[in-house]
Amino acid sequence: MDRLETLTEECINDLIQTLSSQILNVTSESGDDNGRYINLFVESDDAVGAWDAMKTSLLADSMVGNEIRTAAIVTMTGRNGWDDYLLLHHFDPIQQLDTIQDMG
């Protein structure tokens, strides 16, 4: 099931390019696993800056942010990889979210 209603992969790729102009190490992969998906990978030494750029460029965008928010999950791995990751955004509003300040 696709969670995105109107956004195309091309539009998402354009948004990723915009994000890439703010954060240098941005890559993505896409596929279909019972619905289309695009995984976005951001590598940065500035977790706060990267998260702010992602919120501004994707989640808070006035044109597409609402649709992205209803489809996206944002996680950030910690110093120990997935053992101490943060859940920063989830399309399901009942999920308990971490904050970037929880990174420690």
Q: What are phi and psi of 21, to 5 degrees?
A: -75, -15
Which structural domain, as residue segments, surrounds residue 57? 9-90
Asked if residue 29 is part of any domain, the answer here is yes
pLDDT of residue 1: 53
pLDDT of residue 30: 83
Matching residue, tokens 């998260």 = 51
Asked if residue 3 is part of any domain, the answer here is no
Asked if residue 96 is part of any domain, the answer here is no
Among 30, 23, 27, CA closest to 9? 30
Instruction: List the chain pLDDT tens, one digit each, 104 residues.
Output: 567 778 887 888 888 888 888 887 888 888 888 877 888 888 888 889 999 998 988 899 888 888 889 888 899 988 888 998 999 999 999 999 999 887 76
pLDDT of residue 33: 85
Asked if residue 104 is part of any domain, the answer here is no
> Tokens representing 46?
């500035």
pLDDT of residue 102: 74
